[in-house]
Amino acid sequence: MEALFALKGLKTYCYDEAEKRFLRIVDDVAFEIGKGETVALFGESGSGKTSIAYSIMGIVPHLPGIIRGKIYFKGKNLLEGLEEICHIEDNGDELIIEKDVNAWNRVFGYEASMKQIRGREIAIILQGAVSGLNPFHKLRLQIEEAYLLNGRNRSGMKETIDNLLLRLNLTRKQAELYPHNLSGGMCQRMMIAMAMIAEPDLLIADEPTTGIDPPLRMQILKLLQEFSMNNDRSLLFISHDLEAVKLLSQSVVVICHGKVVETCPTEIIKQGKSLHPYTNALIEAHEIIHDNKGLDASEENSISSSDGCSFYSQCRIREEICLKEEPELVLVDPELNHSVRCHKWVTAQYPVVISGG
C-alpha cells in the first residue's frame, strides 16, 4: 500500500520551567498511513497520543516544540529545513536546544508548509471541541468556510451540509447558533461536521466521541468508517477505546509515555497475539478503559525521562536491563509488519497489570 503520510523519528519537547529541564512529550515516533487506510493510535489517556496529533498539525502549544524528525505527506517532507534552525547539544549531563522560532514560523519547514495544508488536505477533530470553534461566528458559517476551503463553489453546499448535520443528529436551527448556545456533545458533533465537510485526504480524529451519548457514539464511528472506506481517504483514529479501535482500524500503533511500543495489524489485537506488556494490559482492562475509570493517567505520564523502558515502573516482567537500556523497536514479523519495543517480547504475552488499575 502506497504511503500517503509518514512520520520518521519525530521528537517534540517542552521546557519545564519549574524543574528547569526539557521533557520529551513525543519521543522518536515513526509510523505510516496508506491511502484509504485507517490507523489507530491506541493508549491510555495521557500517553502522548494528542501530543502526536498536535505535532502533525503544527499546533504544539509548548516551546521548543518539534526539534527533530520528518513528516512526509504525499511524498514531501513538511519539516524540510528543521535541522538548519534547530540545534541540539547533549553532553549527557546537560541538554541545550536552540531553535529560531521566527524562522520556524515564517520561513522554514512545517509552519510555512502547514498553512497551505491544514484544514484542506489534513483536518483534525479536536478533543474538547469548544476550544476549536470560533465563539464569535455562528456554527453554520464555520462549516461553510470549511466546505469552501478546497476551492469548491457554493452550488450544492447547503444540501451537502444539511445532509451531514442530519447524520450527526443535528438540526439546521442548531447550526444557526453560536458555540456557547450548545452542549459540549453538540459542539463535538459540529467539529466533526467541520472536519469532514472539507473532504481532506487525511482526517485526524482525536477521541471524536468524547462527551457524546452512547446511542450516537456508534453512529459517529460508522460515519468515520464510511469516510475512509467509501472515499479512499485516510484516517488517523486516536482513542483509548479498544472496541472502537477494533471496529475502525486496519493497523494499530500503541503509544506509551510518548513512545511507540508496538505496531501491528488490528487482527493481531483481535486475536490476542500482541506482544508488549503494555498492550496486553490495555487489552485486559479494556472494559475499565472504556468506562474511563482506573487506568487514566495524568498528563505527565506522556513524558519520558528514563534511560530505560517507558513502561518499566508498571511492568511485572521487568528486569534490570529494562531500567538501564531502552529497548529498540524490533520488527518481529516482517510479513505482518509487526514490531515491538520490549527486551522480553517473547514472554510478553503473560498477564500484566498496570499499577493503580
pLDDT score of 306: 59
End-to-end distance of the chain based on CA atoms, in angstroms? 38
Which residue from 282, 279, 200, 195 is spatially nearest to 208, judged by alpha carbons? 195
Nearest 5°: the CA angle 233, 236, 237 is 120
Q: Are 120 and 74 in contact (CB under 8 A)?
A: no
> Exposure of 40 by Cβ count < 10 A (0-12 exposed, 13-18 middle, 19+ buried)?
buried
Q: Are 210 and 45 in contact (CB under 8 A)?
A: no
Furthest CA-CA distance within the chain? 65
Q: For 13, what's the count of Cα atoms within 13 Å in the CB-facing half-sphere?
A: 20
- Cα dihedral sign, 336-337-343-349: negative
pLDDT score of 74: 96
> What are 172's three cell numbers?
439546521
The predicted-structure confidence for 99-110, as pLDDT tens digits, reads as follows 998 898 877 767
Q: Are 7 and 71 in contact (CB under 8 A)?
A: yes
Which residue from 83, 79, 84, 101 is spatially nearest to 15, judged by alpha carbons? 101
- Cα dihedral sign, 53-56-61-67: positive
Residue 67 Cα to chain centre, angstroms:
18
Of 39-53, 92-106, 169-183, minimum mean pLDDT range: 92-106
For 33, phi then psi, to 5°, come to -130, 120
pLDDT score of 287: 53
DSSP letter for each residue of 88-100 = EEE-SS-EEEEE-
Looking up cell 452542549, which residue turns up? 183
* Secondary structure (3-state) at 287: helix
* Secondary structure (3-state) at 198: coil
> What are 298's three cell numbers?
495524568
CA distance 307 to 288: 30
**Domain locations in the chain?**
251-347
Residue 356 binned pLDDT confidence (cut-offs 50, 70, 90): very low
CA distance 283 to 185: 27
- E strand or H helix that includes residue 322: helix 320-324
pLDDT score of 9: 97
Alpha helices per DSSP H over 107-237? 109-117, 139-148, 157-167, 172-175, 184-197, 214-231
DSSP letter for each residue of 26-40 = EEEEEEEEETT-EEE
Residue 329 Cα to chain centre, angstroms:
19
Of 50-64, 82-96, 176-190, 295-309, minimum mean pLDDT range: 295-309
The predicted-structure confidence for 280-334, as pLDDT tens digits, reads as follows 999 988 755 445 444 444 334 444 445 789 899 889 889 899 999 999 999 999 9
For 90, phi then psi, to 5°, come to -125, 110
Segment 18-22 mean pLDDT? 88
CA distance 221 to 261: 26
> What are 92's three cell numbers?
549527557
